[in-house]
Structures are given as C-alpha cells and as structure tokens.
Amino acid sequence: MSDSLVTFSNVSRFYGEVLGINKVSLSIPPGITSLVGPNGSGKTTLMNLMCGLIRPTQGEIGVLGISPQHPERLCRVLGYCAQFDAFPKGLTGYQFVYSFLRMFGMSAAECDQRTRTVLQLAGMTEAANRTVAAYSKGMRQRIKLAQAIAHDPRVVVLDEPLNGLDPLARAEAIALFRQWGDEGRHVIVSSHILHEVDRISDQVILLSHGYVVAEGQIHSVRSEVQEQPMQILVRCDRPHVLAARLFQQDHVVEAKLTSDGKGLLLRTRDADRFYLLLNRVVLESGLEVESVAPADDDVSSVYQYLIGEGASV
Amino acid sequence: MNALWIAQVGAVLRLELKKTFLSRRGWWIYLLALGPVGLTLIHWLFEAGHPGGRHSLGDDVTAFAALFLLYYLRAGIFFGCMGIFSNLFRGEMLERTLHYYFLTPLRREILVVGKYLAGLTVALAVFVTSVVLSFLFIGRHFGAAYSDYIWHGPGLSQLGWYALVAALACVGYGAVFLMCGLLFKNPMIAAAVVWVWEGINPFLPTLLKKISVIFYLKSLCPVQVPVPPPFSIMVIDAEATPAWVAVPGLLAVAAILLIYSAISARQAEINYGE
C-alpha cells in the first residue's frame, strides 16, 4: 500500500443483497478529487469505507498506507465531514469541537488553541458559545467542517460539504479546499453541484450503480468518451464560411451558428482533424478567430454522456 | 493502560457526563431514584406527627429491606440502568452521532470503558445516594433511638452493605445493558427477557438461580426478606453465596460482559438505517 495514496483494491461492499459498490479499484493522489454520481451510486459507501465506518465485504483499502481497520492510526491522518446533520445533544459549538479533539490525547491548552483557530477559520467564533441545536443549517455545516479538520488531517473527506452554505461561505469553503489541495493534502469531496465540482477538482471519479464509470482528470475522461462526438465552440468573424467547409467533412456530425451570429457550435468525431482543418481555413480564407474551446469537457457533460440524462445527482 | 488511553477514557467520560448527566431526557430515571426518597421522607414526616408510633424500629428495618429488594433491585436500579446504559451506544445510533466517536483515534475498547464509566458514575450518584437517603429517612421519626441504631448498633454496617449492593447492582446491570445496547436494535426486548429471568429467580432450581445478578445481590443483603405465602411454597431454597465469592463473582461477570461488548464494538459499523 502506498504511503501517499488512498487506494482501493478490488473493493466490494454489499448491504445484505443490496450492492453498495462492486469491484472498485482506485488510486487517489493528493489534490482535490470529486466523487460524482446519482443518488445510490455508491459515493457515501466509498467514503464510509475509506474512513473505517463500514468494512468492505471484500478487497483492501489503504489510506496513506494505513488500513481503515485501525482507527487509532487512521483517524490521526484523516478527517471526515459526514452528511449526517446530527450533533451530540446540549453541546455548544466550542464544546463540540473541543470535546472530540480531547480524544486525540492532546493537552487541554492545545485543544483549546486548536478549537479557537479552527472556529475562526470556519467563521464560527461569534457563535461558538451557542448550542449547536440553535444553529442554522449553514452554521451546522460549518461547525461540522471545523470539527472534521480540527486535528489538521492530511486526508480530508467531505460528503456534500457545500450543502446549506450561502454563496459567500461556499466560495470561502472552496478556497479552503483549493488551499488544502495545493498544500498536497488529499481532499475527497462528493458534491451534486456539478459546475462547482468542475471548478475545484483536480480529478473526478464518476460512479454509477456501485461501479466506477470513469476516473481521472476531466479532460482525459472526456477524450476517452469516443462514442459521443466532441462539442467545440469557435468564435470568429465569419462562422458561416467555416460552417460551409465543415459540412464537407465526414467527421463533423453537426454545426450550428450561435444566436449572436459570431460563433459556431460543432460536434465532431475527430477533434484532431477538426483543429487541422481550422488551421487550413484560417490560412486560406483569412478567418479571424477569437476563441476555440471545447464545449462539453466539463463534469456535467461527461456525467450526462456516461451516466445518462435520467440520473439525478 | 498507558497515559494516552487514560487521557482518552477521561475525555469520553467528561463528554458523556456533559451530554447526559442531569439532562432532561433522563427525568424518569431521576424520578425512579427520587421516588423511594420521597416515600421515606413522607413516612418520617407522617410518623413524626404520631409520637409513640404504631410500629417498631425493627418493622422499619424490615420494611427497608423489602423496599430495597423489591423496589431498588427489581425495579428502580434495573430500569434505571437499562435507561442509562442501553442508550450509551443505541441512543447514539438513533441520534446518528456515534460516528463522531468512531472518527477519533480511539480504540473501540477504550470507548466502551469510557462510556461504561460515565454510565456508572451517573448510576452510582443517583441510586446509591437514593438508597442512603431512604435508609436515613425511614426510621428518622424514632429520633435518638434511630441515631443510636445507626451509630452504635448494626445500622451503619447495614447501610454500608445496602450501598455496596446498590453499587454492585449498577455495575452488573450496567454491563448487561451496555452489551444489550450494542448487540440489539431494540434493547427493550432483551431487557424484558432479563427482567423476567431475574424476577423468577426465587422459583428456579439452584443451578439456574446462580446464572443471574439478583441471586448474588440478594445473598449480600444484610436483612433477608421472607417470601409471603402462597409464593413461599414455590420458592426453592439455595445456600446464600458468601460475600467473598459474590462480590468478585459479580465483578468478574461484569468484566466478561464488558470484554464481549468491547469485541462487539470493535466489529461495529455505522449504519443508521439509510
């Protein structure tokens, strides 16, 4: 087992006869990794397995070389912000973070200092002495996040961490995840907000019905989906000229002008041949190209291609 | 136990006490403990208004023995421990908060010990205090005679034994119900089975009698309560277990149950029924 990766080797988990995940093999490097898939696809099962909250029916899991069967070692390097919106009764935000930090064997002074630091990071200092039961949904989400990271873990697992956060808090949280990713930590996030997943992820893992459908950097994943023609948006001064040339090509299956008349959205089965053709057209007809960009190598499109229209994230 | 484990047990103990001690949810347990204190207090106040009295000090001593056996051991401590200990794990499962513990670098065995000690602290504080207060109130109306009975007679020794038996009951039933809370989705069914088993203990054959908590606790009670007819003819007498066997025996049974609970906790998964 690698000391710098989160690894799954042929891992399956069944709940009685119900499939959780099946034969999953993964190596998750440092950085931000997003788990994407419809409800019941196995995202939470995958997270619970790597955190040791459940055990695999078969296969092996390693988190930086540590088996989840050893919580006394694993939980020193891992923090998990689970999706459950439940808290021990009667505790204030400060007591909630501080009390569980004491389980790490740190001194009272160190726990106090860490608690204050992390509450500040989560923007919860002012509400720290109010009971968690009196918090709003967004505050509960933030205090949960603070509790999960209070011991400064190297692997942070976050199940729908942006749920309930207002736009400002969401932006701050994303910036924090980005910072952790840049510091070389593993940040493993499940989210149903696909455009945000797109913005923050270094790599994605797409899950469907308990199977890993695709994994890797989103651009690589998209290029592997060959049965779906690639969409490319070209903005230029004379898109109709380009369109006329494109219709002579067998790899181009569709081309349409954008509503402002300044762009051409096309679908091609061979992006490389299209780019060569575009170069030729530019040289031959003096076309002024403002931008050329893939229009569907984002998580949302890949998700639709691989998992389908009907699936709810 | 190394220093880390001791610190972790302390952390679990503190958190559990913060969450549960004197919480509103446990009102019925405090009522169970306060009930006999209230009764004996009323008895004192009522009898104090009737100087000369209608019964003897010996009657009150026997009445307390009956109260201790039939109320404290068979009902108050039994159900109180059920409420306290079976919720230590099952309650957290129902409230979906157990995962917070499971996500700390805590050996599950340490978690079991910490939670058990927290439950025991509450149970001892509540029920041993209740037993002591009830004992002190029940004969209080005899005034100096009762003080003399306590300080110069067998009273203090009896009080010590009652407190010890109440504490051992908390230790034993605590271990039973902590295990039930870990093993069963509905610990009430298991508790009902244990309650019936403990209740029919006097009528069981000698060998079966010994597979219970109440048998050993009864052996340690300083004043025996005679079983009234017609039940007395169904009672099967068994030789009382000496204290030097009953006390370590009960502690050993509690330790075995806790070890089994720790093994179960080690295997436990977070499944909140989703």
Say yes or no for a CB contact (<8 Å) between A105 and B271: no
- Rounded CA-CA distance A235/A167 in Å is 31
- The confidence score (pLDDT) of residue B234 equals 67
Distance from CA of B114 to the nearest CA of A (A): 11
Contacts of A43 in chain B (CB under 8 A): none
Q: Are strands A58-63 and A6-15 parallel, antiparallel or unpaired?
A: antiparallel
Domain locations in chain B as residue ranges: 3-267
pLDDT of residue A125 exceeding 80, the answer is: yes
- Rounded CA-CA distance B215/B227 in Å is 14
Beta strand spans in chain A (E)? 6-15, 18-28, 31-36, 58-63, 78-81, 155-159, 186-190, 203-208, 211-216, 230-236, 252-257, 263-268, 289-294
The residue whose two tokens read 């023609």 is: A229
The residue whose two tokens read 């109306």 is: B141
User: Cβ neighbours of residue A179 under 8 Å, at least 6 residues apart?
Assistant: none
Per-residue confidence band for A299, with pLDDT thresholds at 50, 70 and 90: confident
First vs last C-alpha separation in chain A? 32
B185 and A CB contact within 8 Å: no
Q: Which of A68, A201, A83 is nearest to A144 (CA)?
A: A83
Q: Which of B166, B179, B175 is nearest to B64 (CA)?
A: B166
Distance from CA of B66 to the nearest CA of A (A): 38
The residue whose two tokens read 């989210």 is: A191
Domain locations in chain A as residue ranges: 6-223, 229-295
- The confidence score (pLDDT) of residue A228 equals 75
- Rounded CA-CA distance B81/B87 in Å is 10
Contacts of B272 in chain A (CB under 8 A): 84
Contacts of B102 in chain A (CB under 8 A): 52-53, 71
Cβ-contact B110, B12 below 8 angstroms: yes
Task: For residue A156, give the chain B residue with the closest CA.
Answer: B103
Task: For residue A80, give the chain B residue with the closest CA.
Answer: B103
Give me A284's structure tokens: 């031959």
- The confidence score (pLDDT) of residue A76 equals 96
Q: How far is CA B178 from the centre of its chain?
A: 13
Per-residue confidence band for A277, with pLDDT thresholds at 50, 70 and 90: confident
Distance from CA of B21 to the nearest CA of A (A): 11
The residue whose two tokens read 């330790």 is: B255
Give me A60's structure tokens: 């092996």
Q: In a mutagenesis test of the B interface, which of A45, A61, A103 is the best target, namely the one with the most B β-carbons within 10 Å?
A: A103
A16 and B CB contact within 8 Å: no
Say yes or no for a CB contact (<8 Å) between A102 and B15: yes
Say yes or no for a CB contact (<8 Å) between A99 and B11: yes
- The confidence score (pLDDT) of residue A262 equals 87
Most confident of A165-174, A287-296, B145-154: B145-154
User: Cβ neighbours of residue B8 under 8 Å, at least 6 residues apart?
Assistant: A103, A105, B106, B107, B110, B114
Give me B143's structure tokens: 């005034």
Could you read off the pLDDT of A18-58 as tens digits, one per residue? 889 999 999 999 999 999 888 888 999 999 999 999 999 99
Contacts of A100 in chain B (CB under 8 A): 15, 100-101, 104
Per-residue confidence band for A162, with pLDDT thresholds at 50, 70 and 90: confident
Task: Report pTM.
Answer: 0.85
A73 and B CB contact within 8 Å: yes
Q: What percent of chain A is modeled with pLDDT above 90?
A: 49
Q: Which of A55, A79, A105 sits opposite B269 (nearest CB)?
A: A55
- Report the complex ipTM: 0.85
Cβ-contact B61, B150 below 8 angstroms: no
Inter-chain CB pairs, A–B, below 8 Å: 88
CATH for A6-223, options being 3.40.190.10, 3.40.50.300, 3.40.640.10, 3.90.1150.10 = 3.40.50.300
Q: Which residue has the higher pLDDT, A292 or B120?
A: B120
Give me A222's structure tokens: 């998209």
The residue whose two tokens read 């349409």 is: A256
3-class DSSP assignment, residue A202 = coil
Contacts of B14 in chain A (CB under 8 A): 99, 102
First vs last C-alpha separation in chain B? 37
Identify the weakest region by mean pLDDT among A113-127, A217-231, A257-271, B60-74. A217-231
- Average pLDDT for chain A: 88
Q: Which of A54, A55, A103 sits opposite B104 (nearest CB)?
A: A103
Distance from CA of B6 to the nearest CA of A (A): 9
Q: Give the sheet arrangement for strand A78-81, strand by strand.
A: A78-81, A155-159, A186-190, A31-36, A203-208, A211-216
Contacts of B108 in chain A (CB under 8 A): 71
Cβ-contact A77, A153 below 8 angstroms: yes
Give me A133's structure tokens: 């039961």
Per-residue tens of pLDDT for chain B, all 274 residues: 689 999 999 999 999 998 887 777 888 999 999 999 999 999 998 888 776 667 888 899 999 999 999 999 999 999 999 999 999 999 999 999 999 999 999 999 999 999 999 999 999 999 999 999 999 999 998 889 999 999 999 999 999 999 999 999 999 999 999 999 999 988 889 989 999 998 888 888 888 888 888 888 988 999 887 766 666 666 667 777 888 988 998 999 999 999 999 999 999 999 876 5
3-state per-residue secondary structure call for A235-249? EECCHHHHHHHHCCC
Say yes or no for a CB contact (<8 Å) between A71 and B19: no
- The confidence score (pLDDT) of residue A276 equals 87
Q: Which of A191, A166, A164, A192 is nearest to A177 (CA)?
A: A191
- Rounded CA-CA distance A206/A221 in Å is 10
Q: Which of A28, A56, A308 is nearest to A190 (CA)?
A: A28
To 10 degrees, what angle do helices B155-183 and B129-138 make?
Answer: 150
Say yes or no for a CB contact (<8 Å) between B11 and A102: yes
Q: Which fold has domain A229-295?
A: Alpha-Beta Plaits (3.30.70)
Identify the weakest region by mean pLDDT among A97-106, A243-252, B83-92. A243-252
- The confidence score (pLDDT) of residue A171 equals 87
Contacts of A75 in chain B (CB under 8 A): 103-106
- The confidence score (pLDDT) of residue A224 equals 67
Identify any residues that bridge with A26 across adjacent strands, giving them in sequence order.
A8
Contacts of B100 in chain A (CB under 8 A): 88, 100, 147
Say yes or no for a CB contact (<8 Å) between B103 and A79: yes
Average pLDDT over residues A68-81: 94
3-class DSSP assignment, residue A133 = helix
